[in-house]
Amino acid sequence: MTVRSRWLLPLFALLLAAGCSVAPSKPETGRFVQKELVLDGALHRYQVFVPSREAGGRHPPVILFLHGSGERGDDNQRQTEVGLGTHVRQHLADFPAIVVFPQASQGQSWSGATARMALAELQASVREFNGDDDRIALTGISRGGYGVYELALMEPRLFAALVPVCGGITQPAIKEPLQVEGVAKAPDPFAAAAARLQHLPVWAFHGARDDVVTPDQSRHMVEALRKIGGNVRYTEFADAGHNAWDPAYATPDLWMWLFAQER
């Protein structure tokens, strides 16, 4: 054996051993992606949670999440820090759905141009991330809970299911205007909304001690849907105030039910 061979063999063995000792790569997890969209000449920023391929498959279901009053602004961050975003961050590895997080500007509700913005961001996300357009769900909290009904009335054939959390239809006892514009002029706004949305599966959540949007808002809507044979579930948390979103999104049966819905 030559001197060169005697030198190369130990080096080869060392490299082989080093290769065998490399730690396995970490499992892939979902991720939050910052996006931009231009609509009617205005730039809007939003975020999208994209699940791992293992969790979501080739065509993941899609959820549009509408935040509440406190998350309005233009930082493109607050809308992911309260409500569904908190739950998703606790389940980065196994949450199976694309989640779209639009952000409304200060002083705006989920109606008119703001609603159209959210729908445009949803459609862009479905295309870009290969979402299943037969499994698009809509959920929101507080002002976003009102937005669930508003957007569903605007696009009643788009969604597979609705999950309004501490939402409502008519003006609650707060100073800032808040109502579902699509049925605001109806003699009975709850009955009008129910008649147009009766084909959609709905699971509503509310806190029994909510003094911001009182639970009668959800109770009236659920009653109106049940009266005409709607597919509706209702969970009222006896000890919860306005924050019904944390226990709602922590309900395991919600996700089993939601991901089973198809348009």
CB atoms within 10 A of CB 105: 13
Tokens 């009008």 belong to 192
On average, the pLDDT of the chain sits at 92
Average of pLDDT values for 216-240? 98
pTM over 0.85: yes
Does some domain include residue 6? no
| pLDDT for 151 beyond 90 | yes
Does some domain include residue 5? no
| pLDDT for 164 beyond 90 | yes
Average of pLDDT values for 219-237? 98
Q: 202 pairs with which residues across the strands?
A: 162, 232
CATH of the domain at 93: 3.40.50.1820
Q: Look at the chain and report how many structural domains it folds into.
A: 1
Gap between the Cα atoms of 249 and 247, Å rounded: 6
Q: pLDDT category, 6, cuts 50, 70, 90?
A: very low
Gap between the Cα atoms of 21 and 105, Å rounded: 52
Q: What angle do CA 218, 220, 225 make, to 5 degrees?
A: 95
Q: pLDDT category, 119, cuts 50, 70, 90?
A: very high
| pLDDT for 29 beyond 80 | yes
pLDDT at residue 24 in the model: 53
**Dihedrals φ, ψ of 227, to 5°?**
-60, -30
Does some domain include residue 119? yes
| pLDDT for 5 beyond 50 | no
Q: Which domain holds residue 159?
A: 30-258
Gap between the Cα atoms of 217 and 224, Å rounded: 11
Does some domain include residue 144? yes
Does some domain include residue 3? no
| pLDDT for 228 beyond 90 | yes
Q: Any idea what DSSP says for residue 97?
A: S
pLDDT at residue 25 in the model: 58
Does some domain include residue 19? no
What pLDDT, in 10s, does the model give residues 63-109?
A: 999 999 999 999 999 999 999 999 999 999 999 999 999 999 999 99
| pLDDT for 258 beyond 60 | yes
